[in-house]
A and B are shown apart, each in its own frame.
Chain A
């Protein structure tokens, strides 16, 4: 999780603000595709394009009020109204509208605070954040501030999960070792996860925190798990056949190719997806894209019945080696519902 610059990013990946603003793999080649509208049968042309505007946007007065002190001194700044005493953090306004627009004055705040509320956790994100999911963003009240600063909420115990941060959780700011003057230069961790020495240190730097990863679980062999794994392999033809007959499921997996190694209490097996073709492979898999570990393969039988795999990750029942696997899990979660919907509305091919 930590790189040579002590900046935040997932293991083995560039930190968020390095490299091109738009990753090259997200940029389409020029091209035009002809399709048939699945509803009307009309021939339609789809044109690859972008809405392109680069920016060199100004942080304006927020530079001196917040981002330069953050970068150069590793401090959290607020702004206080000299008349009513209100403290804003972030210092989003230079004048107090409640006191006839009197100029607010800078005030340095402690780097510890409390969560205003339990933060949501994004398992599905906009395009530019896919490589960072799952991630939590919440609001923290620092010192006497009456407004909350939006921050990333991180744990030292692996993947973020519900319940680690709650309303009132005491948190400590962790500063990137190398800061640029961006809100992504900081995150918060629960103070309870830090040693007393680290909790007392200001500023606390990213490289000083032990960001341990969640360990892959190990399972004892179970005959029940073995039976369920046999059941899953017995469903392989039905699953593959159903996907091939379901236009929605075919669309879900269009252009997707992954090799997923799964460890269970019945041993290892692999899931190989290439477009709409899905195969289960017994034993170890070469060139795996990512790895899952779950005690009972019955969860995949439940998946085919419509139960989400994503939720197993959220609930800590299933382990995943790399967050980038979430996109594949999302696509897999869509498939049973797509098949069901196609069967219900008559789109499911009968031939």
Chain B
């Protein structure tokens, strides 16, 4: 029998393009301190940690989590590091959930941290080509990486394949409208990397990075940390009684990893025009929570690219595939609220912890707005093959 698990605390650092004045360990420590203070507990109450940290090359150190184990108060306790591409955060959260749900631990923290922009291209005198190149080491070294496979290239392949199937969908002005809305919403996130007003016209005027994606429709590279405290049924209510919040229960989840190579059979290949992992993960999560998309009041989803946000909304059942142009109207109506943090495009994308930021935001908004059900999502890998979804619930628990 599994034990119910709740989120009882969350803490963030500022999201910045570069924290010149903070090491990876500093970020990890600041995020951890913020979370335990938010939960009103001592770090000594935390029995184990899962670290979501995507990329050793970013960190300029292999197994970089070993360097800050003591700094985050975990001396002589179990620390498990998870690295699973863009979806690192979701998978790290799930590992932490399992630690508590299994009954092995009562209080576990899940720390996502990334110091991403130290790589530098000395020829261009710019960090970005080196950061992009670092991520590109995730691609197959025989068939893909030598051909300039990289994140924007591959995700745009998914977007273009989707557009091949649904030529009237992913309308440019709708994409711009979503960006405009996210930019407004980010002003309510004190930790957001970009507090910048962006209009539809700004979006349409911005340059193509990888055709057809424009610069202002792509997530930012970020340095930062976010820490989440999970607790077991019983102690979760005790802690929340003391800190004056309510437990936010994990009432559903789902995960799926599509295969690497593209092909024609969705049961054994990556089908380019789908983010099938999102569909499968969301389906599992809805079934487990016993709800449907219309019950979701707030959704923080992993928007690596604005077109991918639209496809993910369709894969998660908020609109039919091919009708994602309707997503903007849903967002404007708050049915559901989407990416009130500004998402990864304005809030920040510190890969190992971006999905924790989504959870930080969903919990904050659920508590503030008294929302019953929230949802978070992460995607990753070369062609968006990794998908993870959590459904969060506030108040009396429904039967699972």
Interface segment out of the listed B71-79, B118-126, B360-368, B386-394: B118-126
What 1/0 mask marks residues of chain B from 126 to 137 whose CB sits below 8 Å from any chain A CB? 001110110010
Interface segment out of the listed A22-30, A197-205, A238-246: A22-30
Contact B21 A42 (CB under 8 A): yes
* A residues less than 8 Å from B144 (CB atoms): 137, 150, 183
Closest to A315 in B: B208
Choose among A48, A59, A67, A162 the residue that contacts B212 (Cβ–Cβ < 8 A): A162
Contact A26 B121 (CB under 8 A): yes
* B residues less than 8 Å from A57 (CB atoms): 141
Contact A124 B209 (CB under 8 A): yes
Contact A152 B147 (CB under 8 A): yes
Contact A184 B146 (CB under 8 A): yes
- Known contacts A44-B20, A137-B149, A167-B164; A120/B156 CB under 8 A: yes
A88 to B260 alpha-carbon distance, docked (Å): 13
Contact B273 A127 (CB under 8 A): no
Interface segment out of the listed A209-217, A223-231, A289-297, A301-309: A301-309
Contact A127 B205 (CB under 8 A): no
A317 to chain B, nearest CB (A): 13
What 1/0 mask marks residues of chain B from 71 to 95 whose CB sits below 8 Å from any chain A CB? 0000000000000000000000000
Indicate if A107 sits at the interface (CB-CB under 8 A): no
Contact B265 A146 (CB under 8 A): yes
A348 to chain B, nearest CB (A): 14
- Known contacts A42-B21, A62-B142, A146-B264; A127/B208 CB under 8 A: no
Indicate if A37 sits at the interface (CB-CB under 8 A): yes
Contact B132 A125 (CB under 8 A): yes
A341 to B194 alpha-carbon distance, docked (Å): 10
Closest to B209 in A: A124
A25 to B123 alpha-carbon distance, docked (Å): 6
A117 to B149 alpha-carbon distance, docked (Å): 16
Contact A183 B208 (CB under 8 A): no
Indicate if A148 sits at the interface (CB-CB under 8 A): yes
- Known contacts A183-B142, A254-B125; A123/B209 CB under 8 A: yes
Contact A148 B208 (CB under 8 A): no
From A57, A90, A122, residue with most partner B Cβ within 10 Å: A122
Interface segment out of the listed A128-136, A170-178, A261-269, A280-288: A128-136
Indicate if A80 sits at the interface (CB-CB under 8 A): no
A97 to B122 alpha-carbon distance, docked (Å): 45
Interface size on B, residues (CB 8 A): 61
A129 to B120 alpha-carbon distance, docked (Å): 15
Chain A-chain B contacts (Cβ-Cβ < 8 Å), number: 191
* B residues less than 8 Å from A220 (CB atoms): none
B152 to chain A, nearest CB (A): 7
Contact B57 A51 (CB under 8 A): yes
A324 to chain B, nearest CB (A): 11
Contact A123 B21 (CB under 8 A): no
* A residues less than 8 Å from B326 (CB atoms): none
What 1/0 mask marks residues of chain A from 8 to 46 whose CB sits below 8 Å from any chain B CB? 000000001000000101111000000101111010101
- Known contacts A122-B148, A166-B164, A341-B196; A147/B262 CB under 8 A: yes
Indicate if A68 sits at the interface (CB-CB under 8 A): no
* A residues less than 8 Å from B4 (CB atoms): none
Contact A308 B206 (CB under 8 A): yes
Choose among A97, A130, A147, A162 the residue that contacts B124 (Cβ–Cβ < 8 A): A130
Contact A150 B149 (CB under 8 A): yes
- Known contacts A116-B262, A121-B211, A146-B265; A129/B161 CB under 8 A: no
Contact B197 A333 (CB under 8 A): no
- Known contacts A42-B21, A119-B160, A147-B269; A126/B205 CB under 8 A: no
Closest to A93 in B: B261
Contact A311 B207 (CB under 8 A): yes
Indicate if B195 sits at the interface (CB-CB under 8 A): yes
* A residues less than 8 Å from B146 (CB atoms): 16, 182-184
Contact B207 A308 (CB under 8 A): yes
A139 to B133 alpha-carbon distance, docked (Å): 21
23 contacts across the A-B interface (CB closer than 8 A): A35-B20, A40-B20, A48-B122, A117-B157, A117-B164, A128-B133, A129-B148, A137-B148, A138-B157, A139-B262, A139-B272, A141-B264, A147-B263, A147-B264, A162-B211, A167-B161, A167-B164, A182-B146, A256-B125, A309-B207, A311-B207, A341-B196, A344-B197
